[in-house]
Structure 1
Amino acid sequence: MTSAAPTNVCIIIAAKNAADTIARAIGSALAEPEVAEVVVIDDGSTDDTAAAARAADDASGRLHVVRFEENRGPAAARNHAIAVSRSPLLGVLDADDFFFPGRMARLLAQDGWDFVADNIAFIDAAQATAAERKIERFAPSPRLLDLVGFVDGNISRRGVRRGEIGFLKPLMRRSFLDEFHLRYNETLRLGEDFDLYARALAQGARYKIIHSCGYAAVVRGNSLSGSHRTIDLRRLYEADRAILAGTGLSGDVAAALRRHERHIRGRYELRHFLDLKNHEGFASAFAYALTHPAALPAIVGGIVGDKTERFRRSTSPAPVALGGTGDVRYLLEGLAVDRAE
């Protein structure tokens, strides 16, 4: 007889106003035999997210729902889930996404990692129920991701929207997080995953990625992850600076982090300029640009890029609107070996 799969994984779901999708997310996590806990944090929802989450309980005793009366952000929600959970392995699932069956077994078949992630399939919301039949099976092709590759893989380019490898959703060893006192940065509401993984890699984390696809990211036009405030960009490039202020970084790593910091800071400068123009008028925005000459290349380049965007064809494999066509796009490139049954 085959022994039962060890239940040693906690799946963390930070949810805000996700009553329509939370049951599917929870159900996909509870269906994985290796999952010992599913911790849902209702982060100040104004709908029935908490009730919908509790209604998805399978009576196995593995589901725990905590409600924040006020929104604290995904980093705070995930840190609270880590604090109340006990499992040695931790994974994150967004409230409108779901797992394909067998994801945990494929990830846990790997060894030699502190973080391990698989491929992501981006699915149009209208096609989510039929997604499993459309997913191709990929040879695992495991490889380790270093900090330079990770940082450079999170610098987006025009025409390739939101395709950064920071979208990956790894399993994480609690022991590694605890050893280096790593938790999500609660000042961040954008890039909190990138920041945690970058800090872990700076501490020597082994981050393994495989091409097998077990995570379905649902593309929705009104997704909370698709919007952010100008101040969120500033806090993210300040987080880069905090890592750079640390000791022991190689020249290549520091250069990569500086590239990412300049990229995010450029996005911030453009957004800040446009905010000033919209709220205080062009004169105020122009005065800011003149008194901050270092910001001028980002402002001018961003405006020109925005004006010419419609003339460029997007090459993104990641979450652009799929238009209900049933297309499946993958974050990681790879050769399909056969169709899923």
Structure 2
Amino acid sequence: MSEETGDAVCVIIAARNAAGTIAMAVASALEQPQVSEVVVVDDASSDATAAAARAADDGSGRLRVVSFDTNRGPAAVRNHAISISSAPLVAILDADDFFFPGRFAAMLEQRDWDFIADNIAFMHQPAAHRRPQLFQPRARQLSTLEFIEGNISRPGIRRGEIGFLKPVMRRAFLARHDLRYNEALRLGEDYELYLRALIKGARYTVIEHCGYGAVVRADSLSGQHRTEDLKRLCAADGAIRTASRLAAPLDRALGRHQRHIRDRYELRAFLDTKARNGSLFALRHLIARPTALPAVATGILRDKLRRADKRDGDGDAVAQADYRYLLAGTPVAQK
């Protein structure tokens, strides 16, 4: 079947302290007929993540669970999983997320792509048995410029960046261009890989169909990052700008993204200094970095407004009541 046509999928799940959610993720991957391999890499969890993953095995021989002795981060986990798997298509699934039934069938109807992504439904509670909105089966190509600009956060929209998309990737393209995740990154490692692939000429298709369910949790790995992680992501943008001969519009857009990440870093660095040493030291820190003042002032104001919205109940009730979709789409008319 799928292996003969080159449509077999390897699903990679990086997991750390995910004993409570990993079974749902594994089961949703094994339910997809196109999946020939599910590789779970337990990144030195302190709970029973590996055992919970194995308990979700369906007996088909497609599940492999590997454990690291020391924590190495999601980029290293995914690189390792890629190296020990063989299916021609590679898909990433977070350990607290799941696939809706029929995800890969809808994606594999498309041809002539190197990366293909579908819509994401964000939710506050898992709803594996509830269908998402049906959208018209439309596909479009995502340009490098659109990808960069789509990864600059928009005020008031949490997790609205295109980098949250979880594309299926052709292993042959990754191998041909020697592309692997940047293991120095623990934030934005997906974005950085996809950007380098686009610069190498990857054809990135996006469809409106929704097949990925993302559960929004305050303690999820994707929602946690250190100040140092922001600094490294900013440096990664700079490294790409230096190493690549980008057309002027792309370089300007990547420069804007780099400044966006740098502003987030400056805010976090200021808040870290205040938390460790008090307001006086934080003020001295800011005086020593006058160019950071606009980013810090804007960030503090934005955080205050966000907290005020939460106190007023604005947005949370709606978000918890239904799905929020990352991409706009044209709904299929209900009969």
The one-letter code sitting in structure 1 at the alignment partner of 2:177 is F
TM-score, with structure 2 as normaliser = 0.93
Aligned pairs for 1:275-294 within 5 A: 275-294=272-291
- 1:170 and 1:181 mapped to 2: Cα distance? 18
Q: Which residue of 2 aligns with 1:105?
A: 105
Q: Is 2:318 the counterpart of 1:330?
A: no
Task: Tell which has more relative contact order, 1 or 2 (C-alpha 8 A, sep 6+).
Answer: 1
Offset, 1:71 = 1.3
- 2:263 and 2:48 mapped to 1: Cα distance? 39
Q: Which residue of 2 aligns with 1:131?
A: 130
- 1:325 and 1:293 mapped to 2: Cα distance? 40
Offset, 1:288 = 1.9
3-state SS in 2 of match to 1:47: coil
The one-letter code sitting in structure 2 at the alignment partner of 1:330 is Y
3-state SS in 2 of match to 1:12: strand
Offset, 1:325 = 4.3
Offset, 1:273 = 0.7
Does the CA-based 8 Å contact 1:75-1:192 persist in structure 2?
A: yes
- 1:115 and 1:129 mapped to 2: Cα distance? 25
Offset, 1:265 = 0.2
Q: Which residue of 1 aligns with 2:81?
A: 81
Offset, 1:149 = 0.4
- 1:41 and 1:71 mapped to 2: Cα distance? 11
| Aligned length in residues | 328
TM-score, with structure 1 as normaliser = 0.92
Cα deviations across residues 64-90 of structure 1 (Å, max 9, x unaligned)? 100011211111100000000011110
TM-align CA RMSD = 1.8
- 1:235 and 1:61 mapped to 2: Cα distance? 39
Cα deviations across residues 85-143 of structure 1 (Å, max 9, x unaligned)? 01111000011111111111111111111100000111222x524432xx111112111
Aligned pairs for 1:169-318 within 5 A: 169-310=166-307
Q: Is 2:122 the counterpart of 1:122?
A: yes
Does the CA-based 8 Å contact 2:100-2:128 persist in structure 1?
A: no
Structure 2 unaligned residues grouped into runs of 5+: none
- 1:144 and 1:83 mapped to 2: Cα distance? 28
Distance 1:152 1:160, change over 3 A: same
Distance 1:323 1:308, change over 3 A: closer
Does the CA-based 8 Å contact 1:159-1:312 persist in structure 2?
A: no
Does the CA-based 8 Å contact 1:219-1:322 persist in structure 2?
A: no
Offset, 1:49 = 0.7
Does the CA-based 8 Å contact 1:16-1:49 persist in structure 2?
A: yes
Distance 1:28 1:263, change over 3 A: same
The one-letter code sitting in structure 1 at the alignment partner of 2:42 is D
- 2:197 and 2:191 mapped to 1: Cα distance? 10
- 2:218 and 2:297 mapped to 1: Cα distance? 28
The one-letter code sitting in structure 1 at the alignment partner of 2:11 is I
Q: Which residue of 2 aligns with 1:21?
A: 21
Identity %: 57
